[in-house]
Amino acid sequence: MALFGELGDRRELEKKAKAEGRLPPGQSLTLKWPVLHYGSVPAFDPAKWDFKISGQVEEPKRLTWEEFRALPQTEVTSDFHCVTRWSRLDNRWKGVLFTEVLKLVKPKRGAEFVLVLAEEGYTANVPLADLLRPNVLFAFEHDGAPLAPEHGGPLRLVVPHLYAWKSAKWARGFMLLDQERLGFWERNGYHAYGDPWKEQRYSGS
Ligand SMILES: Nc1nc2c(c(=O)[nH]1)N[C@H]1C(S)=C(S)[C@@H](COP(=O)(O)O)O[C@H]1N2
Ligand SMILES: [Mo]
């Protein structure tokens, strides 16, 4: 009977989330946390890991794992919407705000676009202005526990107001650009921007 109990809870919570306007159109609520990515989970070696900021900056920057962990840390709570139609609410993330990382470089004029770079060549494009929001961060903790490797540990980007493919797992840096360059899923048919509230799922939608 526990199963019916769980289903009942989920439906109730989904109704509530809808009523509160927290569920974008076409999304359903999940209480679990699905694992979704292309390719395999990369191995993490703190001695070899680095984080690189490149492109349209006065001077490129490289941080070691130790240096990245020493940056000021913040906790934010946000909702997570996957284009495959599940949403997970109230995720508690801890990490380093994008704005904090950006302080380490001097962007050139016209650097309005970002290509986020992750392990194994995964990329995601996001306008710089979107990454400056106060709840966008590179996270290494979720709900009080270290981010599991399958969820992007040791470090993932979290961009709550866009579909979750923008929230690159296994992030290793980003490139500032003066022209938009499409990321991995965006080149494969997903929307260049990906606003879940406008259901910008696929390019042309
Ligand atoms: N590096 C990388 N990050 C990725 C992906 C991926 O394929 N590779 N998939 C994205 C998609 S489509 C989603 S829904 C979320 C899923 O995150 P989760 O597995 O932690 O739920 O990760 C995003 N980040
Ligand atoms: Mo997704």
Given a cut of 70, whether residue 169 has pLDDT beyond it is: yes
pLDDT for res 204:
77
Q: Is the CB of residue 111 below 6 angstroms from any atom belonging to ligand 1?
A: no
Measuring from atom 23 of ligand 1, which residue has the nearest CA?
A: 165
Band of pLDDT at residue 2, cut at 50, 70 and 90: low
pLDDT in tens, 8-63: 799 999 999 999 999 999 999 999 999 999 999 999 999 999 999 999 999 999 99
Q: Which long-range contacts (CB under 8 A, 24 or more apart) does 169-172 make?
A: 169/37, 169/118, 169/122, 170/42, 170/118, 170/119, 170/120, 170/122, 171/51, 171/116, 171/117, 171/118, 171/138, 172/49, 172/50, 172/51, 172/52, 172/117, 172/118, 172/119
Quote the ligand 1 centre to 36 CA distance (angstroms): 5
Measuring from atom 22 of ligand 1, which residue has the nearest CA?
A: 165
Measuring from atom 7 of ligand 1, which residue has the nearest CA?
A: 37
CB 205 within 8 A of CB 149: no
Given a cut of 60, whether residue 65 has pLDDT beyond it is: yes
Quote the ligand 2 centre to 123 CA distance (angstroms): 14
Band of pLDDT at residue 3, cut at 50, 70 and 90: low
Q: Closest Cα partner for 126 from 78, 80, 195?
A: 195
Quote the ligand 2 centre to 75 CA distance (angstroms): 23
Q: Is the CB of residue 101 below 6 angstroms from any atom belonging to ligand 1?
A: no
Distance CA 202, CA 205 (A): 6
Pairing of strands 86-97, 28-29: parallel
Q: Is the CB of residue 38 below 6 angstroms from any atom belonging to ligand 1?
A: yes
Give the start-to-end residue ranges of the domains of the chain. Answer: 30-198
* Dihedrals phi, psi of 187, to nearest 5 degrees: -75, -20
Ligand nearest to the CA of 88: 1
Measuring from atom 24 of ligand 1, which residue has the nearest CA?
A: 168
Q: Closest Cα partner for 79 from 191, 173, 167?
A: 167
Domain at 30-198: CATH architecture = Alpha-Beta Complex (3.90)
Q: Closest Cα partner for 128 from 179, 79, 93, 197?
A: 179
* Cβ neighbours of residue 84 closer than 8 Å, sequence gap 6 or more: 36
Atom of ligand 1 nearest to the CA of 170: 1
In terms of phi and psi (left: phi > 0; alpha: psi -120 to 50; beta: otherwise), the region of 25 is: beta
Given a cut of 50, whether residue 77 has pLDDT beyond it is: yes
Question: Taking residues 146-174, what's their average pLDDT?
Answer: 98
Quote the ligand 1 centre to 170 CA distance (angstroms): 9
